[in-house]
Amino acid sequence: MSNVYVLYTGGTIGCIGKPLAPMPASQFAQLVASMPGLAQGQVAGLDVPIQFTIEPYTVGGQVQTLDSSNMNPADWVNIAIQLAANYAKYDGFVVLHGTDTMGFTASALSFLLQGLSKPVILTGSQIPLSSTLNDALPNLVGAITLAGKQPALAEVCIYFDSLLLRGNRAVKVNANQFAAFNSPNYPPLATVGTIPTVNTALLLPI
């Protein structure tokens, strides 16, 4: 069984209420556990279940829950430090992040975390997980599944609306559709449908 570390920095995926406001990581983890197939920190229904752990983003020991518009270069460094501190304990990593600056964070992490031998996948959503109609659940499950089941993937990526994109090639292209990200000058590394289809020829070597 693979084990995936999920770093919750905030963003729309973890918002609730009107107007939307980010929920604490502990409340978000409880909401995730109530989703079908995600109880007890596992992605069920796979040939081999994936264990995952959700932890909050911290700065100097203080929990930070940020809208992506508040992300800055210091946060990029702190996210990289938090992932590096847990690197030896997990098989893959997912960073939950707001969409507006996700592309910038992914690009920065691709340079801060060079020489990876494990996947680091950023994802989020256009609609919160707390809403009945949302893109949050498929994005979360898809990102965790790829992070836990694709050992040949050893780079920073963005997963959104069934597409896995190279992190430093991805850009937000739509604020209203679920297909919010694309990589206009580079093909997707993988597409998730009934089964994940990985374009192994495009992956960075381990």
With beta carbons less than 8 A apart as the criterion, state whether 66 and 10 touch.
Answer: yes
- pLDDT tens-place string over residues 89-110: 999 999 999 999 999 999 999 9
**Residue 3 token pair:** 């084990």
Predicted confidence at residue 205, as pLDDT, reads 87
Evaluate whether the domain defined by 3-202 bears CATH number 3.40.50.1170: yes
Predicted confidence at residue 47, as pLDDT, reads 84
Q: Which residues are catalytic?
A: 12
CB-based contacts of 193, cutoff 8 Å, min separation 6: 162
Q: Where are the domains of the chain?
A: 3-202
Q: At what angle do helices 102-112 and 73-85 cross, to 10 degrees?
A: 50
Task: Give the three-state DSSP class for 185.
Answer: coil
pTM: predicted TM-score of the whole model, two decimal places: 0.96
How many percent of the chain have pLDDT more than 90? 86
Predicted confidence at residue 194, as pLDDT, reads 87
**Calpha distance 184→173 (Å, rounded):** 10
Strand partners of residue 163 = 160, 191
**Residue 165 token pair:** 């994109």
Predicted confidence at residue 196, as pLDDT, reads 87
- pLDDT tens-place string over residues 144-160: 999 998 888 999 999 99
